[in-house]
Structure 1
């Protein structure tokens, strides 16, 4: 396998309800083919606004056993994977975006030491309202999710851009596109 250019990996993460999918859709519509957006493979049905491929547990296990994921993790009872096309894009020097997990970020940094991280967040009331609109969890589950919000910390060498998506989508979306431009140019 060719050596990958980990400076071109853009790892987007943040809590549920922060608006990652909406921001990524906003950016994707504006940057075109200059940036590759990795599909997530998830053991959950596709819902509105999501960009992922739904797999059964068996399908996920088979793909994992055959080495078809560049990265994978488990979260809240579901399994997530990013296909090996990520490696091909990075080997060719193409900027590539992954919608990832904060809990998996340290592992990503070990395999892609020069990756850039974008942490998207929003105020707690905004997160709660968005989670409620999503309709996957009841009020008690949402409250529990927000209460167990893990601390987020990466090693000091990690390059992290923080974006607050509590307000207008276009404002945070423009910040996200600006962060992509840093990777494209540098």
Structure 2
């Protein structure tokens, strides 16, 4: 049996990564050999956003020390991890989708050189409105996120796929599912 593919989904906060992955998960619903890895995060579940496993910083660091993460990084005062269970899933032939980090991409690429990087892109106007609608940040924090996003170096990776998410969810979602099945 051939190993599955790792899909490393990245993009600015508010670009719609979680919405797009949730849409694909619901549409696929076990019909394809695709699994969506959850993240372990030191952010409270009550903060909204993605469904993740909340860990204290102490517990996160202990799990990292014990080798429980295939990938892990720190961003926005939180720690993020993807569990080592994805290694088994890939070996069993499943395509695995993870919500990654643009800043961590070089390290993730060293660990998984054949991974497919899916950059979810969105126009600044759409991004601003999504961040406002999400309601997790102040106007100044939203402005700082948008400015930071625009200042980041362009994403470079040999297996990069750009997916614009300005269109309706069903349209972008269909293209995403097609990619996960390729």
Q: Could you state the TM-score of these two structures normalised by the residue count of structure 2?
A: 0.91
Shift of 1:116: 0.6
Checking the alignment, whether the CA contact within 8 Å between 1:15 and 1:121 is kept in structure 2 is: yes
Residues in 1 aligned to 2:177 and 2:154: alpha-carbon distance in whole angstroms: 23
Deviations 1:89-144 (A, max 9, x none): 11222111101011111211111111111110111011111111212210011111
1:142-161 equivalences under 5 Å are 142-149=142-149, 150-155=152-157, 158-161=158-161
Aligned length: 176
Residues in 2 aligned to 1:49 and 1:30: alpha-carbon distance in whole angstroms: 20
Residues in 2 aligned to 1:91 and 1:141: alpha-carbon distance in whole angstroms: 41
Answer yes or no: is 1:23 the counterpart of 2:20.
Answer: yes
Shift of 1:49: 4.7
Structure 1 SS opposite 2:94: coil
Residues in 2 aligned to 1:152 and 1:78: alpha-carbon distance in whole angstroms: 24
Q: Which residue of 2 aligns with 1:181?
A: 181
Residues in 2 aligned to 1:48 and 1:171: alpha-carbon distance in whole angstroms: 25
Residues in 2 aligned to 1:159 and 1:118: alpha-carbon distance in whole angstroms: 8
Unaligned segments of structure 1, at least 5 residues = none
Answer yes or no: is 1:10 the counterpart of 2:7.
Answer: yes
Residues in 2 aligned to 1:113 and 1:44: alpha-carbon distance in whole angstroms: 29
RMSD (Å) for aligned C-alpha atoms: 1.5
Residues in 1 aligned to 2:180 and 2:35: alpha-carbon distance in whole angstroms: 11
Residues in 2 aligned to 1:160 and 1:32: alpha-carbon distance in whole angstroms: 25
1:126-141 equivalences under 5 Å are 126-141=126-141
Answer yes or no: is 1:45 the counterpart of 2:44.
Answer: yes
Residues in 2 aligned to 1:118 and 1:45: alpha-carbon distance in whole angstroms: 26
| Runs of at least 4 residues off by over 3 Å | none
Deviations 1:152-176 (A, max 9, x none): 3224xx2111111112111110111
Unaligned segments of structure 2, at least 5 residues = none
